Structure 1
Amino acid sequence: MSLKKVPLLRDPLLHFALIGGLLFAIDGLFNAGAADLEDIVITPSRVAHLASVFERSWQRPPNGEEMQKLVDNFVREEVLYREALKLGLESDDTVIRRRLRLKMEFLARDLVDSVEPAPEVLAQFFHDNRERYRVPARVSFRQILFSGDHRTAPAEDARALLATLAPAAVTDVEGDSHLLPRQFTDASAQEVDKQLGVGFAEQLMQQPQGQWVGPIRSEYGEHLVIIEAYTPEATAELASVRALVMRDWQAQQHSDTLDRQYLLLREGYRVRMESEASEQLRGDSASAAEVAAR
């Protein structure tokens, strides 16, 4: 359709009216945005936190330009975060739901961490769980290896040398060449087994102290050993393991506090199972039972 056939559209007054209305609408849009501006406050503590995170990652404090980028990135994140909330993007998002659950649980943990238990409370916890804090047996010994890789009858060779040794003799016989320590000092059973193979420590702990005995078999061959010192397993004193007991007490309190928090909050909700969901749940349970029965 030609503008010549529509005299109204050729009217300059109409053109000014349309332009004026458009400018008014644009001005109103920007003014409304200015009136609804939200504050994003950069506090000194926020700046310190951003700098601290940077320093932990880079092992140095940020310079001025890096600090400005950190602040700019925080502002960008905050703007997008707030806008995402306005759009409801957090709804029905499994990752966000789990993150928020973790944050709720962290609040309970922070509460526990800020509490210093009374000495008698920690002592009672230690007494109730003292089996956790047993000090393992430790042993100091020397050993001589007779390797099956180097000998046809390592056990017989070991017994032959043992017959020539005085009970607590200091011998310069080094045995077969190997990378194993010739002497262990104040070693736990776990440390011995790590070096000489699982089960060696159990055999060792059954031997008398202060005399050469053997041979004791390991995955490397046959060993003559002399136990020089032995400390049996015992329960630790609270003072020596207080930090560990404190950590375990806090872990227990974390768990108990989370349970109490949930039960308290749960009272504010009523859970209803829709009929279709209920049927589905029963169907899933029946299927699981059938699989288990097979």
Structure 2
Amino acid sequence: MILPGWTREPLVHFLVAGAALFGLFAWQGEPADTASRTITITREDRARLAIEWERTMQRPPTDAELDDQVEHFLREEILYREALRLGLDRDDAVVRKRMANKMDFLAASMVESAPADDAVLRQWLARHRARFARDSSYSFDQRYFAQRGAANCASAERMERAGDAISLPASFENAPRNEVEARLGSAFMANLDRLAPDGKWAGPVQSGFGWHCVRLRQREAGQTPPLAAIRSEVEADWRSETEAQRRKQAYSLLRSAYKVKIAR
């Protein structure tokens, strides 16, 4: 069966996933109609509350404990609806952030459920062998900044004098991968693998300490294990980067629908 071309558009997939996510949130107890003063607790709601209790307490709830959970849910639901009626969700940074996170979750959820077959992972491994090589070495310079906003990595001249004090070398020469990861963390290592060894300042790159401007001068890739030996590692890397790309694509689709005016 040949599907129409419009069914392959990313925006269609995004909207379909949105409908599914809306249904998920409704099932979790977030009402579709917050103006209604009728609240129905279904058997499915009670079952969900019982499951949540059991996951937390490692045992099923008693009847009294389940009744308490229902009352807690009702209290939260009533206060939530009344807060919306009063407009307390407007201009609230916490609510704003949570809604934005849900939209990001919507975009990423398409990847979370996507199967990662061996053909996809073999292709990913072939494109990113340096990330998985076991004896890679790196030569790079770094400048540390406690605050991301201060890490302006665009000016090469500025980098020679920039940065905050930290007990890390300003330069690493042929440093083994495990040494770099041990000193700067796995998040820094993953981002370092994504940089081109072109001798240009890039970043900011996050580590467990804060933020860094990085100039990768050389990367020597070692031997890469076969996919069978590192499948879970490759899949995690593929899924993480693909999720980030889906979020970016989803935002670009939404952003294109808005006309934005910024006062200067």
TM-score by length of 1: 0.46
**Structure 2: gaps spanning 5 or more residues:** 1-34, 137-176, 183-221
Shift of 1:190: 6.3
* Equivalent in the alignment of 2:247: 258
Cα distance in 1 for partners of 2:59, 2:40 equals 26
* Equivalent in the alignment of 1:125: 124
* Equivalent in the alignment of 1:74: 73
Alignment map for 1:214-233 (pairs within 5 Å): none
Matched, 1:248 2:237: yes
Cα distance in 1 for partners of 2:62, 2:135 equals 50
Cα distance in 1 for partners of 2:244, 2:178 equals 31
Cα distance in 2 for partners of 1:250, 1:190 equals 23
Q: 1:133 to 1:67 in 2, by over 3 A?
A: same
* Equivalent in the alignment of 2:39: 40
Cα distance in 2 for partners of 1:133, 1:37 equals 54
- C-alpha RMSD of the superposition: 2.7
Alignment map for 1:47-62 (pairs within 5 Å): 47-62=46-61
* Equivalent in the alignment of 1:26: none
Q: 1:70 to 1:257 in 2, by over 3 A?
A: same
Shift of 1:95: 0.9
* Equivalent in the alignment of 1:159: none
Cα distance in 2 for partners of 1:65, 1:100 equals 34
Shift of 1:259: 0.5
Amino acid at match of 1:89: L
Q: 1:122 to 1:44 in 2, by over 3 A?
A: farther
* Equivalent in the alignment of 2:88: 89
Cα distance in 2 for partners of 1:264, 1:247 equals 26
Cα distance in 1 for partners of 2:257, 2:43 equals 38
Shift of 1:67: 0.7
Shift of 1:268: 1.6
Matched, 1:273 2:262: yes
Cα distance in 1 for partners of 2:42, 2:128 equals 45
Q: 1:273 to 1:190 in 2, by over 3 A?
A: closer
| Deviation readout 1:112-165 (Å, 9 max, x if unpaired) | 11111343222111111122222459xxxxxxxxxxxxxxxxxxxxxxxxxxxx
Cα distance in 2 for partners of 1:37, 1:128 equals 53
Q: 1:113 to 1:45 in 2, by over 3 A?
A: farther
Cα distance in 1 for partners of 2:120, 2:109 equals 19
Shift of 1:37: 5.6
* Equivalent in the alignment of 1:164: none
Shift of 1:107: 1.3
TM-score by length of 2: 0.51
Q: Percent identity over the alignment?
A: 39
Shift of 1:108: 1.5
Amino acid at match of 2:130: E
What SS class does the counterpart of residue 40 from structure 2 fall into?
A: coil
Matched, 1:235 2:224: yes
Q: 1:122 to 1:97 in 2, by over 3 A?
A: same
What SS class does the counterpart of residue 40 from structure 1 fall into?
A: coil
What SS class does the counterpart of residue 61 from structure 2 fall into?
A: coil
Amino acid at match of 2:116: P
Q: 1:51 to 1:260 in 2, by over 3 A?
A: same
Cα distance in 1 for partners of 2:122, 2:36 equals 56
Cα distance in 1 for partners of 2:105, 2:46 equals 23
Aligned residues between the structures: 150
